[in-house]
Amino acid sequence: MSMRRSRARRPRAAPEAGYARAVAENVGYAVTDEDVERARRRLAQQPPITDEQHDRNMEWLRQFGGDRAAGA
């Protein structure tokens, strides 16, 4: 049996982290990696939403032109 070493890649920053930083820059706040990780931990503790709730959320966002902030 041959054992190969896996080539684990370094995790890349999630796109939402960059988006959060961009939004914060627009309002003059600095978002640190620690801030992003704290938000991820907090959100991970939330119960998952249903598909129906997700659809309602997306419909609500559409009234503002999508899920991105204006000017982003």
Roughly what angle, to the nearest 10 degrees, separates helices 15-27 and 33-44? Answer: 120
Tokens read off for 20: 């959060």
3-state secondary structure of 55: helix
Q: For the chain, first and last CA: distance in Å?
A: 53
Predicted TM-score (pTM) of the model is 0.38
| 22 inside domain | yes
Structural domains counted in the chain: 1
Domain assignment present for residue 30? The answer is: yes
pLDDT value of position 11 = 52
Where in the sequence is the domain holding 33, given as residue range(s)?
A: 15-62
Q: What's the pLDDT at 65?
A: 81
Nearest CA among 61, 20, 57 for reference residue 38: 20
The per-residue pLDDT string of the chain (72 residues; one tens digit each, 9 = 90 and over) reads: 444 544 545 555 566 777 777 776 777 677 889 999 999 999 999 999 999 999 999 999 999 886 565 554
How far apart CA 56 and CA 68 sit, in angstroms, is 16
